[in-house]
Amino acid sequence: MKITHSRTLLAPLLIVLLWLNPLIYFLKFNQIAFWHTDTMLLWGAVLATIAVSAAVAYWGNWICRIIIITLSVGLTLSFMPNLSHMIWIKIISLIVLIGLLWLTDNTITVLTYIAGALVLSSLLLSVGKQLVGVKDQISTKAPKPGNHPLVLQIVLDEHIGANGIPTDFPQGKVMQQFIKHFYLSHGFTLYANAYSRYPRTYDSIPNMLNFTASPQHTAYFPGGIHELTLDKAKAFNIAQSKGYQIRVFQAYYINYCRANGITFGRCYTYGTKDLQQINDMPISLWAKNNFILKSFLLNSSWYQAWLDWYANSVRPFAVDHGINLPFWPWSLNQLSSPSAIKVFAPLTQDIEQHPRGVYIFAHVLFPHSPYVFTSDCHVVKSPDNWYTNYDEGPVGNSPERRRLRYHYYLQQMRCAYQPLGHMLTMLDKEGLLSDAYIVVQGDHGSRIAEHGVVMSNEANVTWQDFTDSYAALFAERTPHSKPGIIEDRLPITYLYGQWFSEAMGQAIPHDDTAPYVYLTVRDTSQRIDMTHFSLNQFKNAPADANVVPTAAQATPELNTTKP
């Protein structure tokens, strides 16, 4: 039987429909207007791709038509979130599609109907929504606040510890002194050498709230990395049983408001990928268009695969052969910083309205990357300079890239102290903090490290990597403490347990002071036990790395039971 193929207008129509579907989905999901000056580049790129592909599909020979249709179908599938990890299903589907296109042109007709139905469904049906702005849930069923002193915990995500700030360049020395002066002037005890046992938030904070140091990656999330809903927070349970109302300020990242047995008084959630934040930012129209286009591309598993291949294979191979290929700048679509810095205003109002009988937990993604703000809280003009804490690839940062990133990171850190300082000063003047129990802390280090602190990298990690990845801010203020700086090297899980026990008025078993951390997993989807790593195993560790502070030896035993 002879197989024949004829030119058909359905081929370019199919191309149009295939590309419109992911574009419509992206705009609707992010609640972006279909026609807006900020999306001109996105529309231009998509329409140009459609024009070239449709021309090839119509004017090219039947082999070109099969290739361009198959590629377009594959790209469309790559933008579908439910299929992003089903690589073999996609490969088999594309092979079957090539066979069907080879056998009969009727395949194009069927595909056109399917693509048309997908476009209509994306237009007319709900596709879900990215959180834009805030979601503020206030419960009338929560217990009324009692007359206990305020308990306030503020987690500044990725805030490195005071002595962890590198001082091999002037900006670092200035920032280290500023941090120490800030907390002393506001009546805090600052633990300058505090550190986290974990370099990732979803291990650090949940273990702290449960007074454990579990080796299991994502131990408190039944859905693993793909569903970061905390199922257990023992600290909240204890505080509630003592008559405290629990009030949470959180990012649209980890959901603390589903922890078992808690009736939350308030759950305030702000967006972390709210692209509408772009509208209010004083950057050029080109920069806004650029950022939205790359955010669209990052929804494609094909584009993500290209990023991984370029960073992990192409660029390292070229560098090994003396060719210094540039870093690929389009690997970021998180826009948490502008949303996070706005949290201090409602947080301040909440304290003013509930100065007693509440435990307020605030997880603020700041100075967490991207580094959008200068030290005086102005926006960095070019999104290409909104750096994350490391480059994709086998090496975390070169010394030069580490220095560059710290420049922007420390500026954003300094910016954080404008709203935080204003809040503490105002509340203190109003007499609302005189008998409060307050902790301001990080959850891990800046993670601007030269070597990733991941399992299988044990032979390479240095003491600098330890301080970059694990050194964490921890400053506490209680009615009984005096301003001061404590230099002991102590884990924040231990420090939090001590502070919480004092706030609740009872000894609560918590982590000890043993000098170790966990190296984290490279593949975050794995739910496995992480490597237990003593501090003196880091290269160039100081002689006292494994020394347990004398004053801290008589501590409650670590609860090592897994959740």
Cα separation, 505 vs 501, in Å, equals: 6
pLDDT above 80: residue 378:
yes
For the segment 392-401, the average pLDDT, to the nearest whole number, is: 78
Question: What are the pLDDT digits (tens) for 256-279?
Answer: 999 999 999 999 999 999 998 988
| Domain boundaries of the chain, sorted by first residue | 10-124, 134-274+334-387+409-552
Strands 245-251 and 474-477: unpaired
Q: Dump pLDDT digits (tens) for 436-479.
A: 999 999 999 999 999 999 998 999 999 999 999 999 999 999 99
The residues that bridge with 517 in the sheet, in sequence order, are 533
SS3 content of the chain, % helix, strand, coil (to 5): 45, 10, 40
* Average pLDDT estimate for 331-358: 93
Q: Look at residue 556 in the predicted model and tell me its pLDDT.
A: 40
Phi, psi (rounded to 5 degrees) for 151: -115, 120
Pairing outcome for strands 474-477 and 189-191: antiparallel
Asked which of 299-303, 375-379, 413-417 is least confident by mean pLDDT, the reply is 299-303
Cα three-residue angle 256-454-448, rounded to 5 degrees: 75
* Average confidence (pLDDT) over 512-520: 97
Neighbour-count burial of 87, counting CB atoms closer than 10 A to its CB (0-12 exposed, 13-18 middle, 19+ buried): exposed
Strands 531-534 and 358-364: unpaired
Give the pLDDT confidence of 1-55 residue by residue, as tens digits: 445 566 678 888 989 999 999 999 999 999 999 988 999 999 999 999 999 999 9
| Confidence category of residue 557, pLDDT binned at 50, 70, 90 | very low
In the beta sheet, which residues pair with residue 415? none
Quote the DSSP letter at residue 81: G
CATH assignment of 134-274+334-387+409-552?
A: 3.40.720.10
Helical pair 62-78 and 87-103, crossing angle rounded to 10 deg: 150
Query: Residues 489-514: what's their mean pLDDT?
Result: 97
CA angle centred on 201, ends 196 and 206, rounded to 5°: 85
What pLDDT does residue 510 have? 96
Q: What is the mean pLDDT of the chain?
A: 90
Mean pLDDT of 151-174: 96
The region of weakest confidence among 77-86, 163-172, 504-513 is 77-86
Burial grade of 316 (CB within 10 A; 0-12, 13-18, 19 or more): middle
Three-class SS state of 471: strand
Q: Which DSSP symbol is given to 78?
A: H
Bridge partners of 268, per DSSP, are: 136, 249
**Cα separations in angstroms, 132 against 29, 112, 299:** 10, 34, 18
Q: What is the pLDDT of residue 28?
A: 94
pTM over 0.95: no
H/E stretch holding 319: helix 315-320
pLDDT for the residue 475: 98
Q: How many angstroms separate the Cα of 389 from the Cα of each of 228, 239, 403, 446?
A: 21, 35, 11, 7
Segment 315-338 mean pLDDT? 83
Q: List, for residues 112-139, the tens digit of each pLDDT value.
A: 888 899 899 999 988 888 999 999 999 9
pLDDT of residue 232: 97
Cβ proximity of 462 and 538 under 8 Å: yes
Q: How far is CA 171 from the centre of its chain?
A: 25
The one-letter amino acid at 82: N
